[in-house]
Amino acid sequence: MRRDEILRWINETDQAALADLHRQADAVRREHVGDAVHLRGLIEFSNHCEQRCGYCGIRAPNQAIPRYRMSSGEVLDRAREVHRLGYGTVVLQSGEDPVAGGHWIADLIRSIKAETDLAITLSLGERSEGDLATWREAGADRYLLRFESSNPELFRKSRETTPHGLVDRIRTLEVLKSLGYEVGSGMLIGLPGQTSADLARDIALLRELDLDMIGVGPFIPHPGTPIGRHFPDPASVDGQVPSSEEMALKVIAMARICCPDTNIPATTAVATLNQQDGYERGLRAGANVVMPCLTPDGVRAQYQIYPNKARLHGADPETQRDLLVARIHAMGRTVGRGRGDSPKAGKRSAMAVVAPE
């Protein structure tokens, strides 16, 4: 898909044409990653954060939310639950919490690996090269770090970083790759100030980065943040991208067409905009992953990156799994078995085997 085609789809509003885009993406998904939907158990273990991202509810300056950090014993317990439920991957996510860093994470990874055969995905923000290497050695398999926006100025303004913010983040993605992680990235859709041209460049960057995983979702305003408080900005830029379900589904579809053999979740942010069948619509527009939340009920409301986060139906994790599996089967899809590694990572290790010849 060329850049001008991407831009044309971003601006397309005809429903029949959009349905066709979803169908194309769905066919590419079926051909390249099959009908299996991989489930990843998400544990949001700490909402302490040192960053000041202008869009994120757990940013350091937000004093309106109580802060929590689960103990490693509690996280391990939830990881056992992820395993017991039959999910092949546990995703450990947090704010940039310096206390839950270095050896704390490394020990946790080793404990999970000692007891289970779960793949471990980390989503811990920008951390030192030393920590990233230590965690990989301890057994972590994958890392998610969205670039958020490929426009350096929008990145800098939205995240209150230095002018090098975006360059540093993309360098970290390269470091993660060289350490042997499966790497995931992506962006926010409809961030105030984001134009159609920015979003087209974001999609082109997804392709250039040659990712194992792509996570994209609509920006959802949080009243406790500078960007959320002024949303929608009356002085918004010409050609502002809407943070709508429709736009998010278009982007998932284009990501699938541009990056056919990548794992792409129907994200919680999409399901938050459409609590009825947001997951299904994502899965029909090119996605092949869902990430059920296993964060304990007692702290879940405090992990408020954005408000009104979608919850799966069902009173307990087991019922939630059963209802989710039934929804996947009702779509004619299957549930992935095992770790659900990136098809690309498989090709990479096959290449490594033949490399010495």
Site string for ligand SAH, 286-315 (x = CB under 6 A): -------------------xx---------
- Which residues inside 206-225 make contact with ligand SAH, applying CB under 6 A? 217, 219-220, 222
Q: Is 46 in the site for ligand SAH (CB under 6 A)?
A: no
- Helix, strand, or coil (residue 71): coil
Distance in Å, CB of 348 to ligand SAH, minimum: 24
Helix (H) or strand (E) holding 119: strand 119-123
Q: Cα-atom radius of gyration of the chain, to the nearest Å? A: 19
How near is the Cβ of 19 to ligand SAH at its closest, in Å?
A: 25
- Of the ranges 145-153, 230-238, 326-334, 343-351, which one interacts with ligand SAH (CB under 6 A)? 145-153
Q: Is residue 190 left, alpha or beta, with left meaning phi > 0 and alpha meaning psi from -120 to 50?
A: left
- Which residues touch 322 (CB under 8 Å, ≥6 apart)? 314
Q: Looking only at Cα atoms, what is the longest distance across the chain?
A: 62
Using CB under 6 A, which of 39, 82, 96, 299 touches ligand SAH? 96
Which lies closer to ligand SAH via its Cβ, residue 218 or residue 340? 218
Q: How far is the CB of 42 from ligand SAH (least distance, A)?
A: 10
Determine if 146 is a binding residue for ligand SAH (CB under 6 A).
yes
Asked if 254 touches ligand SAH (CB under 6 A), the answer is no
Least distance from C-beta 266 to ligand SAH, angstroms?
A: 14
Residue among 143, 150, 139, 119 nearest 211 (CA): 143
Query: What residues contact residue 153 under an 8 Å CB cut-off, 6+ apart?
Result: none
* Residues 88 and 119 sit within 8 Å (Cβ to Cβ): yes
Please identify, among the stretches 15-23, 25-33, 93-101, 315-323, the one whose residues bind ligand SAH according to the rule CB under 6 A.
Answer: 93-101
Residue 79 near residue 90, CB atoms below 8 Å: yes
274 binds ligand SAH (CB under 6 A): no
Tokens describing residue 222: 């949080």
In 10 A of CB 274, how many CB atoms?
Answer: 18
Asked if residue 93 binds ligand SAH (CB under 6 A), the reply is: yes
Size of the site for ligand SAH (CB under 6 A): 18
Residue owning tokens 């009173």: 315
Residues 188-207 that bind ligand SAH (CB under 6 A): 188
* Region of 23-31, 89-97, 231-239, 293-301 interacting with ligand SAH (CB under 6 A): 89-97
Cβ atoms within 10 Å of 67's Cβ, excluding its own: 15
State the Cα torsion 129-132-135-136 to the nearest 10°.
Answer: -100
Interface positions with ligand SAH (CB under 6 A): 55-56, 93, 95-96, 123, 125, 145-146, 148, 188, 217, 219-220, 222, 269, 305-306
